[in-house]
Chains A and B, each alone.
Chain A
Amino acid sequence: MPTISFSYRDFQQLLGKKLPIEEFKDLAILYAKAEVEEYNKEKDEAKMSLDDTNLPYMWCAEGLARFFRGVLGIEKGLPKFKTEESKYEIIVEPAVKKLRPSIASFIAEGKQIDKYLLEQLIQLQEKFCESYGRRRQKVSIGLYSHRKIKFPVHYKAALPESVKFEPLEMSEKLKLNEILEKHPKGRQYGWIIKEFERYPLLMDSNGEVLSLIPIINSNLTGRLAAGDKELMFEATGTDEEAVNLAANIFAQNLYERGFKISSVTINRDGKKTTTPHKFAEKTKISESDIEKLTGLKLSPAKTKELLERARYDVSGNTVTIPDYRRDILHPFDIIEDAAIMYGFNNIESEQLTSYTTGATTQMNEFADAIRGIATGLGFQEILSPILSNKAVLEEKMETTNTGIVEIENIMSETFSAARSWLTPIMLEVLSKNMHNDFPQRIFEQGTATTRKGNRISDSEKIALATSHTNADFTEIKQCLNVLMKSLGLNYALAQLNHPSFITGRCGTIKAKGKEIGIIGEVSPKVLTNWQLEMPVSAMEIDLTELKRIISTS
């Protein structure tokens, strides 16, 4: 979810109306899927978070103002936009086709770019490239001082060691591969082009490098400064539509700030197109679709009014989508905008009328019954994170091969695996409570996840542990007796040598010939590993298996 900040005065200027910040806070939530997180009156700075990750045009003061000019009825329909034709040309060489084929560009001039506008441009550039542009892989954007560039510009690919230039924030010329190693941006984004034989770059007709794409601009031409009166915009990427969207959003923003926008011709082997690109996409919507989705019966005139407020053009049932939006996949996307303009809180709610019966799952019902027995036995219920780690689940338990499912990209060692059984968690709990009163009798019922070969499966388990000076096998077996009697099920114990338990005081619990769990006195070695000084006896039962046995018997 992108967050941005801008001058609220600037926003109101773009809006063309004074709007108290408190009102704007409400409107942002009710219409824009956005929230004013903070407003610093002294600095005149509004911080906003934007919910819709698919609507990058809203991630700036210009886009928000344009949207709210529609909401407030200051303007309606498609916003004005005009480009001047120009002779500026970018020649796309065939070598980039397989690397990063798409490029769009325009020139903006006629107004001074002040420090604030520059910051705003860079903010949108960063937000767009990081999130929508998939950290520059899908789209990256460059801004240049236009008067230093000699057109036509060449979009080409070069061997990493064959070209040298001075990148921004550095004072020496570096080869392309050196930039990837030495420049902070090279280290951050180098992965995008590192595997290529040739690296994409922009070079002007003086042979000066504008930019190593999508890493860093050159010091010579790629430094836009406050006070500049014209700029060149370019976006490159792997997705033609997203690249064009970037250019359209920036062009629309600068146009609305009073800049003259000149188009740039993109020349691919003599095949010429111009950018900013006019998508001029049209979609048909029907009254029946509106009613089906929203429950609203809207007249064609009302629908037209609502959609024009949402900055669409409407003619009959054909809707034209603004060129700075590419989020419309389905007519429902447009209908949602109509409903938003209608006002969600103006739509009356209707109760669900169909009769349905509620129920939990049989497994949960069973587990709840078992939990009831465990509390009846005097055990305190525990609820733990499912994520644990190998040291807890195996090493401290002196065991191996419990079928741990481990995480590849761990955030912390503590939470690096799903728990394979619950008994270790009980010991972990006890180890944190040495200072509390004994006896300590605890249990947890929950999911354990294990891997057998390439199969991973969940099972519901329950583990009980009792700890005090006299905790022993007898006590925990008494608990097992109560549990099995409550289920009306006979069981047998088979001697088991398990490294977590004392030899001769541990067994496999079997019912109807199936293994359903383990019971025993925890070995002194394991207790020592947990720095426990009280005896512990414990049992763990696989409830999924137990339930299966009961329902088939």
Chain B
Amino acid sequence: MNMAGDVVAGLHRLERAVLPLLEKLSSQEEIIKESGMQEVEVLHALHWLKNKGLCEVNETLFEVAELEENGAEYAKKGLPEKRFLEALKEKSLEMSELMKKAGLTKEELNASIGTLKSRNLITIGRGNETLFEITNEGRKANIPEQQLLQKLPAKTSELSQQEKKALEILKERKGIVKIAVKKAISARLTPQGRKAAADSAIKEKVVDRLTPEMIKSWESQKANLRSYNINAPVPEIFTGKKQPYRQFLDNVRKRFIGLGFKEMTGPIVESEFWNMDALFMPQFHSARDIHDAYYIKEPKYAEDLPMELVRRVKDAHEKGIAGSKGWRYSFNYRKTARLILRSHDTSISPRTLSSKELQIPGKYFQIARCFRYDVIDATHNADFDQIGGFVVGEGLNLKHLFGLLRLFAKEFCNTEQIRVAPSYFPFTEPSAALYAKHPQMGWIELAGAGIFRPEMTLPLGVEKPVIAWGIGLGRVAMFNLGLKDIRQLYSHDLEYLRNAKVL
């Protein structure tokens, strides 16, 4: 098949109809008339042919005077002044008779009187202010505006001087005519188009869609299936997709499971006991101000606290335990039962540590939605996700903690370049911060960790050392998802969600 043949094979039914006509014709109007096709069909065909380089399309703008709603009506039943005159042709009339006969409203009547009088087409009866009479000029008169109306729509450039004047007058009146700007389209074959038009294959009947009927009768009756432009754009569809940040969290979860960690969960509404007291954070601690947590309006107090455990925690706070002085203050039972929205994910750890299900040695993690009393902006959300957990086992010490941090840097930042620095958490001693050099982001603070204080773990019934850790992946998530504003992690914008990369 030659090049022209290739081109012809891909031509649509409409293109095949229009292309040969262009050998003789050029304007869209003529083509429509000649082919009997719809205007939009011809337009499509010309557009496609142009894209294939088979014709050039020229567009020129021109003005058309068109009828508006009132104009269309007047074209049919006559302008008010026209009807006014017609009604008087038989005999002079009183105003009320006239209005009735000519079908005029008061407004139309008044407007017509002005126009007709100024042109001397009527007179108003002497002595009787409401008697109207037609003049001789009136009987002969043609109203040019009416004549113009009958002629519309029309190109303004094709109107006579008189018609143009009538048009100006009608334009002043409401809802009668408007000027629309239209496109005149004409096309001319390119040399390639001429070749294609001359190709006999263009006469062949082609089929767009393969139907079940065609398949059934294929052996006896093969159809000519048109080639497609496979590069042509297609309409968009929207499929079911996971939310990008949730998927990021899903992947984090998979990593932890792969590393041998078990997932923990805990309630969103927590007592201060699990959120803070069970972590050996004294009730007077500065992080426990009303301004740091959201307090529940109703009910205010938990009724299901494990009281024996609460007493052991209370003793550790007040008097210390196993070589500790304790915080030496009076522990408040009411405060420990106060309900809040959990302010950090570590609230889940003491629940697991004191549970019968705890396995030693054991590795645990949680991905927990937490809430902190904070002004919301590009770096602070009312909700945020924390990822953390603990490792419990015989003989664990600071060296294992560092080993764990090294592992996290490798897993979540793909780096072995790390720095460990001392840090402070009320419930761990020692405490450390992990800085890791992310391949693209540079040095970031990736994790905080420590060994749970014995004052915390002993009352919970755990005698083995427990390494606690929390990993901050918010920045990594935003980096991976290309986000600048933390609020976009929970974006409600469908356009963003539909177009987000699946990592």
Q: Which residues of A contact B (CB under 8 A)?
A: 29-33, 51-55, 131-132, 134, 138, 239, 241, 291-296, 328-333, 335-336, 339-340, 344-345, 347-352, 354-361, 363-364, 368, 371, 374-387, 405-412, 415, 418, 428-429, 432-433, 436-437, 439-442, 447, 449, 451, 454, 456-458
Contacts and interface: CB of A to CB of B under 8 A. Distances in A.
Given A345-B419, A441-B238, 17 more contacts: A33-B422, A33-B424, A52-B424, A53-B286, A53-B424, A330-B325, A332-B453, A350-B402, A354-B361, A356-B261, A380-B243, A382-B243, A405-B296, A411-B294, A433-B494, A441-B240, A458-B269
B63 interface: no
B361 A433 contact: no
The 6 closest A-B pairs by CB, nearest first: A349-B402, A375-B240, A358-B257, A295-B399, A354-B361, A336-B430
Given A347-B398, A407-B294, A380 B359 contact: no
A415 B295 contact: no
B10 to A, nearest CB: 29
Contacts of A364: 253, 263, 265
A418 B382 contact: no
B174 interface: no
B320 interface: yes
Contacts of A368: 250
Given A374-B240, A383-B490, A415-B382, A351 B267 contact: no
A345 B259 CA distance: 24
A293 B466 CA distance: 11
Contact of B265 (A30, A351, A363): A363
Contacts, number: 264
Interface stretch (B12-20, B95-103, B139-147, B371-379): B371-379
B125 interface: no
A143 B435 CA distance: 41
9 contacts: A330-B454, A332-B429, A344-B432, A347-B399, A354-B361, A359-B263, A364-B265, A378-B239, A409-B295
A30 B421 contact: yes
Interface stretch (B208-216, B226-234, B404-412): B404-412
Interface in B120-167: none
B236 interface: yes
B492 to A, nearest CB: 5
A294 B262 contact: no
A354 B256 contact: no
Interface of B: 236, 238-243, 245-246, 250, 253, 256-265, 267-269, 284-287, 290-291, 294-300, 303, 320, 322-329, 339, 341, 359, 361-363, 369, 371, 373-376, 381-383, 391, 393, 396-400, 402-407, 419-424, 426, 429-432, 435, 451, 453-455, 465, 489-490, 492-495, 497-498
B361 A356 contact: yes
B338 to A, nearest CB: 10
B432 to A, nearest CB: 6
Nearest to A384: B490
A405 B269 contact: yes
Contacts of A387: 341, 371, 382-383
Given A375-B241, A386-B383, A336 B429 contact: yes
A51 B241 CA distance: 41
Contact of A329 (B243, B295, B326): B326
A411 B262 contact: no
A340 B432 CA distance: 10
- Which of A296, A330, A384 gathers the greatest number of chain B CB atoms within 10 Å? A330
- Which of B298, B320, B398 gathers the greatest number of chain A CB atoms within 10 Å? B398
Contacts of B383: 385-387, 415
Contacts of A332: 429-430, 451, 453-454
A463 to B, nearest CB: 14
A374 B246 CA distance: 14
A360 B363 contact: no
B117 to A, nearest CB: 53
Given A344-B402, A358-B258, A385-B383, A351 B490 contact: no
B492 A432 contact: yes
A349 B341 contact: no
A330 to B, nearest CB: 4
Nearest to B298: A406
B374 A411 contact: yes
A372 B235 CA distance: 26
A124 B258 CA distance: 48
B140 to A, nearest CB: 59
A408 B300 CA distance: 9
Contacts of A407: 294-297, 341
Nearest to A241: B328
B294 A409 contact: yes
B241 A131 contact: no
